[in-house]
Amino acid sequence: MAGAESPNRSPEIRKDGINNRWVIFSPARSRRPSDFKSKSNPNPNNQSECPFCKGHEHECAPEIFRIPADSTSDWRIRVIQNLYPALNRDLHFRNHEDSSSHGDVSVSGFGFHDVVIESPVHSVHLIDLSPAEVGDVLLAFKARIDQLRMNDSIKYVQVFKNHGASAGASMSHSHSQMIALPIVPPTVSARLNSMKEYYEQTGNCSLCDTRVDDLIINESTHFKSVVPFAATFPFEIWIIPRDHSTYFHDLDSEKAVDLGGLLKFMLLKMSSQLNNPPFNFMIHTSPFQVDPSYLPCCHWFLQIVPQLSGVGGFELGTGCYINPVFPEDAAKILREVKVPDQK
Ligand code: AMP
Ligand code: ZN
Ligand code: ZN
């Protein structure tokens, strides 16, 4: 159901075949898709008290590595431990689970929670960096994942970015986080199983098979950016490798620059169209040690979610989301929005 933005379109319920969940598209009567703008203040902390700034390294939890690696030179990117980690890297991972009589299960809170500081300068964000510099941030994620996956107890690494207070950020200095888990999270298992089911029915990977047509925003040499067919959130964007790729950590230097350029371009478009909204991005890769039968159907992608509306009781109750903007309309607007020339 393609076409220009239409305020009179009737609601439609679409199934997101990758994540196996339903989304209700219900166009907001009062607002046209192009009227969606962020109103929130994106800057939680200020520079004077920022431990992530150059010169304040001693205020941070220990460094894991920096780029460039030479400790005497000025750094461009630092990967550090999180001072308030969600999981504890020093715990001994107990492989057995403790079960209660209700079927609830617990394992020890072992895992790694790291922070990637993306620039030494407080005011510089990903959109201010060149494609090669954004590519270096992506390669820092890869390098840290390569270290973490050597640990046999680690099953999955989630890379994510919170930008802006209502997207969960407490620090405004440009950074991302990585949490390495001893379990495979339920959304990851659900995605894997859903993609496997599609593969068994069709013989194809569902993301290789994505029909983009009116959902495409842009394409680069190795990646395409789209609004997904059943986008959970208004103006959500997925950046997908054009060739089948199971793991984000297989990214090489050439692809990193290419992805860096497209990611920057999408963030610029989103920022320009939606008035610099708070946002999250997540890298959805595949679990380590996965059964080889999953490899042909698992395809990683990067999801960008601008935070324009909160989650309410209906979403919490049903797991179904209501999205007021049809993906075709969001894609058209994002395709057409002009941004300043890239560096
Ligand atoms: P966010 O809250 O999403 O902005 O992420 C910032 C993260 O940085 C939080 O998870 C904090 O626990 C962490 N953090 C805050 N101060 C420090 C510090 N001095 N050294 C290392 N991590 C920190
Ligand atoms: Zn700072
Ligand atoms: Zn694929």
Q: What is the pLDDT of residue 4?
A: 46
Any atom of ligand 1 within 6 Å of the Cβ of 80: yes
In a domain, 343, yes or no: no
In a domain, 341, yes or no: no
In this predicted structure, the answer to whether residue 1 has a pLDDT above a threshold of 50 is: no
- Indicate the number of domains in the chain: 1
Q: What is the pLDDT of residue 70?
A: 84
Any atom of ligand 1 within 6 Å of the Cβ of 53: no
The mean pLDDT of 338-343, rounded to a whole number, is 72
Among 214, 189, 165, 164, which Cα is nearest to 328's?
214
In a domain, 4, yes or no: no
How many DSSP H helices and E strands does the chain contain? 5, 15
In a domain, 271, yes or no: yes
**Greatest Cα-to-Cα distance within the chain, rounded to the nearest angstrom:** 62
We report the CATH number of the domain holding residue 190 as 3.30.428.10
Distances 318 to 19, 312, 314, 322, 326 between C-alpha atoms, Å: 15, 10, 6, 11, 20
- Domain residues for the domain of 187 are 12-33+52-91+104-336
Q: What is the pLDDT of residue 132?
A: 98
The residue contributing the CA closest to ligand 1 atom 4 is 169
Chain segment 285-299, per-residue pLDDT in tens: 999 999 999 999 999
Do residues 288 and 155 touch, judged by C-beta distance below 8 A?
yes
Chain segment 131-176, per-residue pLDDT in tens: 999 999 999 999 999 999 999 999 999 999 999 998 999 999 999 9
What tokens appear for 21 in the block? 């969940």
The residue from 122, 125, 173, 175 that is catalytic is: 175
What tokens appear for 78 in the block? 């630092």
In this predicted structure, the answer to whether residue 5 has a pLDDT above a threshold of 60 is: no
The residue contributing the CA closest to ligand 1 atom 23 is 83
In this predicted structure, the answer to whether residue 44 has a pLDDT above a threshold of 80 is: no
Share of the chain above pLDDT 70, in %: 92
Q: What's the chain's average pLDDT? A: 91
The residue contributing the CA closest to ligand 1 atom 1 is 169
Chain segment 175-204, per-residue pLDDT in tens: 999 999 999 999 999 999 999 999 999 999
Other CB atoms within a 10 A radius of the CB of residue 186 amount to 8
Tell whether omega for the bond before 7 is within 30 degrees of 0, i.e. cis. no
Nearest-angstrom CA–CA distance, 130 and 13: 39
What tokens appear for 172 in the block? 């405004």
In a domain, 39, yes or no: no
Chain segment 270-279, per-residue pLDDT in tens: 999 999 999 9
Chain segment 202-259, per-residue pLDDT in tens: 999 999 998 778 999 999 999 999 999 999 999 999 999 999 999 999 999 999 999 9
Any atom of ligand 1 within 6 Å of the Cβ of 170: yes
User: Per DSSP, what are the bridge partners of residue 13?
Assistant: 24
In a domain, 308, yes or no: yes
In a domain, 2, yes or no: no
Any atom of ligand 1 within 6 Å of the Cβ of 51: yes
Q: What is the pLDDT of residue 100?
A: 64
